[in-house]
Amino acid sequence: MIYKNRKTLDLIYNFIKKTKRHLKNNGHLYCHGSFIRYENKYVTDIDLVLVIANNDIKKHFNKVVNYLDNKKIVFEDLKIDEVPESFLKKNGIYLNNFDSKETQELYRRWNLMDINNGVKVDENFNFLYLEDLIEEIINKNNGNIVLNFFYNLYKDVYVPISIAIHNKKYYDNSGTEFFDEMIKLYNNGNYIKTYKRISSCSNYLMNNYKLSDIENNNLMTIINIYKKNIENLNFYSSIKTQISLVGELYNYKLNVNFVINNLIRIVDKKIKDKLLKLKNSKLNYLDKISELNYLIEEVDEYNNMKIKPQVDKDYKIIKKIFDKIDKLSKKSKKKKRINVLELDNIKNKGSKKIKSSKKKKLI
């Protein structure tokens, strides 16, 4: 786990300041997400956002990639938003099972070698050009691309960092994207991630809409309860982050017993007994890591179902408010269309009268 102590925070903020200075001509860089929330006592990851200064996405993207060529940085991947299948077909690209996980991974995730080459080729010899994809995503669809990497804070301590890149128009749809993602996560049964989106949606609604007192009070209650519940989830996420680094980073070695001692604090008796058994076993390091990953899956399920009742309750409140806003928005658009039609009718009637009076004068 990475605690938010003075040493850690100084190193992280120095990196953010340095990055901001380096990219100052490329746009506005800022930090958001769990790291800047005071209620989180542990660092799980750091989310940075670069809002580009203009549409020259190639220039801005290359500047960021070159900046990440650093001995203290271990590059993970580039993740890009979806593009319409119609765009790919227009460019002569026909991917098998477009919605399948394998196909989505093929064109949406790029390693450093792929980025440097600027092109990917699938088994059907479809050429996927990165420059075309990010141009379509950023400048045409007002979407998002994310560079993921690990930053070496000190010794064997690494923190996952991401830099999301988009334009200013991206924010026009950010609220609806939060809501759409929340529904998708909820329907897929991922209640922990749903809970995090519920918190984002609550803040978004309060900051952007004039709601009733009851609605504001309900949202404030959701946010306050979330702040209490998120502590253990944040603690657990910080543990999972360190476990996930095994195999990702060269020569990275995890203190398994230290991790187990911390996990024991936040699980039920059944999983606790299994963790203690693993701690006292004579398994070698790699076998312990393998067994620990199996137990992590159990902890995931335990945490997911534990938070479900609260998520069910909050989800209904958020969805009800969004549905109300959506309904009012549609009514407003309909009213505007009616007003435009009425205006056109008035103009047409007026022009007919003018033509009629002209005819009379001629007679």
* pLDDT tens digit sequence for 223-262: 999 988 888 888 888 888 888 888 877 778 888 998 999 8
CA 12 to chain centre: 20
C-alpha torsion sign, points 252, 257, 258, 261: positive
* pLDDT tens digit sequence for 4-62: 889 999 999 999 999 999 999 999 999 988 888 777 788 888 999 999 999 899 999 99
Q: Quick one: which of 220, 181, 212, 232 has its CA closest to 314?
A: 220
pLDDT given at position 223: 92
Residue ranges of domains in the chain: 6-166, 173-358
What is the Cα–Cα distance from 133 to 253, expressed in whole angstroms? 37
HSE toward the beta carbon, residue 310, CA cutoff 13 A = 23
HSE toward the beta carbon, residue 196, CA cutoff 13 A = 15
Strand order of the β-sheet with 157-166 is: 27-32, 46-52, 157-166, 145-154, 73-80, 109-110
pLDDT beneath 70, residues of the chain: 172-176, 331-363
Separation of first and last alpha carbons in the chain: 94
